[in-house]
Structure 1
Amino acid sequence: MMNNQPYKAVIFDVFGTLIEIKNSQSPYKKMMKWLKQQGRKPQPNDAAMIMSLDGDFETIASYFGYQLPVSLLAEMNTALQHDLEHMHAFEDSIPMLIELKKLGYKLAICSNAATPYGIQAQHLLPPLDAYAWSFKVGFNKPDPTIYQHFLNQLECQPNEVLFIGDTQIADVDGPQKLGMAARLIDRKNGENLFDVLKPFFKNKNHFLS
């Protein structure tokens, strides 16, 4: 979807868009597997619940009504440390963010993420104008509340915003329902941010033209 008005802001999903985790050990999946072994029936919104709670493993487990055994907690912390150490920005992410900022665009990230992943990701990326982390907002994409969070911070109207992400429902369908332009990025097939952004800014007289 193209927009005849000039964009004022570009919003990015984080994981799979700006940042990747090599061989993720998925510690929260370990916890959910253990909970299932205790007799708890998995719920469709379990993953969303984990990403909307601001807390550590014990806090999240207690929300579900359980106390984690010491051995499992140690295993999860080891898996988490692995993921944080193997988290890095895609080669084009930081240069693109810096260039867009120089060109005068407001920049934000909007991500469904558990607390430690969001904190580490924010350390890896340059300072931006707004942040809509699910664990801070208390809602996950595609709930309109999380999109409205960064719109309010940026003081932008939806039609002034371009959203980039790697998930159809969360990063395209959700933003478009509010009136934003949105585009998928396919990192798995080698697509980069330049590929995605160029069509939207082809009339601009700068490096994207």
Structure 2
Amino acid sequence: MTDRTGIAGTAAAETDPSTSVSGRPLRADARRNRARVLRAARDLFAADGLSVPLDEIARHAGVGAGTVHRHFPTKEALFAAVVVDQVEQLVADATTYATNADSREALLAMLARMLAEGIESRPLKAALAGTDFDIRTAAPDVAARLRETLHALLQRAQRDRAVRGDIDVDDLFALLAGAFATLRHADAEGAPDRFARLNAVLFDGLRAPR
């Protein structure tokens, strides 16, 4: 797929948050600053994508521009780190959904969460839809965990004959990408209603044939 941001090949996305760019362990205050930068970047990237200046992210985080650069040498590296952080949270949430005795509800809850989070966050939407940002290249381990997690939820529901058996995990990602594309053209006022309709159509389409 075409990479229009220069992010796809970066290795910064999988940098251990407890270490510096050079690989040395971070002090506690440095770890706190890194977390503040990530939170600020997540909020600003969610609305404006890569157009946000690093200086604005630093101001929003309450740190100096030099602090941002020490942790994330480029804006692309910071963008990638934000995506990885959000995807890792999705994987963690899936563990909770997997405890639901109703396998269909567990799968649908995960899909609804991915759709909702992707709509709120441009970086995450780019990763989940496979547009502009290829998480499989930037952070293959994280991408694999998300895929395996969703695959496990799907297989469990299929074993229970709770959802149709002729779909695979790639179909689920394609459905999400299509939903994101549709919602991108919805105005702010109509987006909630369209989101609800897409959820209903998606979930009805996954239902096992009677």
Q: How high is the TM-score relative to the length of structure 2?
A: 0.32
Q: Which has the higher helix share?
A: 2
Q: Which has the higher strand share?
A: 1
Q: How high is the TM-score relative to the length of structure 1?
A: 0.32
